[in-house]
Homo-oligomer: A and B are copies of this chain.
Amino acid sequence: MAMPTNGSGFAVRAFATRNAPLVIHAGTDPCRLCESRHASICDAVEGKDLARLADLAVPARVPAAKVFLIEGDPADSLVNIRNGVARLFKSLPDGRRQLVGFAGPGHFLGLSPAGRYVYSAEAIGPVELCRYSRSRMAALLADLPALEGRLLERVANELATAQEQILLLGRKTARERLATFLLARAALHPFVPPLPRPWPCPGPAPVRELVQTVVLPMTRQDIADYLGLTIETVSRTFGALKRDDLIALPRPDTVLLLALTHLAEMAAGEN
């Protein structure tokens, strides 16, 4: 089956799943605007004259710990994360902080109502991003009606995720929150199923849980601020899950999920 092309020779695919970033992409060639191989809105410009839109994106590298979007500032530009992870957070005047999410490659930030950013964004590690000015974005949207539908789909997904987080923060216990968080992180990474066992196979199949490894790019403080807890409670809850053999912690940033079923039940509030 032939892939659609954008007239410049490279294949274009678009797909989106719940809780995963929309990827409007992009064969093997680097993006003509940002010179990156990562998915980009640039690639959505099928059949358009890319040169006309060349000033649409300003590629930028952002060092760790840099705040590149400030809550309340005029939302001059949309930001597309190309590489790295950012924490998105809101703050109260006395310093209390609440993360509203983490943004990885492919995420769009800054589609804000009332022209103001509703959260701040800070690079967790080095981040590579593209900025799109609001006026350019509006022009692009006018040219590409399909794009608006994709954005709607994405924002609807983010809304559903936010409402899931509202349930978590309003009604779940610390254990349930952490289990939910770990499973969500696990779902982000491509799941590598274990090798199939020899078949046909003598004797009953051993019942063994799949083990999934999760690497956490964020600190305990981030996790705490995301789950509405303190850093100490997060640490203690990790310890409790470890003691119950639900997880293993070879390193603080590496979690092995030893009992996916049990963890999933816990995350769903079933015990």
Contacts and interface: CB of A to CB of B under 8 A. Distances in A.
Most buried by B among A162, A165, A172: A162
B18 A114 contact: yes
A163 B163 contact: no
A156 interface: yes
B163 A269 contact: no
Interface string A199-222: 000000000000000000000000
B228 A98 contact: no
A183 to B, nearest CB: 15
Nearest to A117: B160
B269 A160 contact: no
Contacts of A94: 269-270
A269 B96 contact: yes
Given A90-B163, A145-B148, 5 more contacts: A100-B166, A118-B163, A118-B164, A119-B163, A155-B159
What are the 9 A-B residue pairs with the smallest beta carbon separation, nearest first? A170-B228, A92-B269, A169-B169, A162-B162, A98-B170, A96-B171, A98-B167, A100-B163, A113-B157
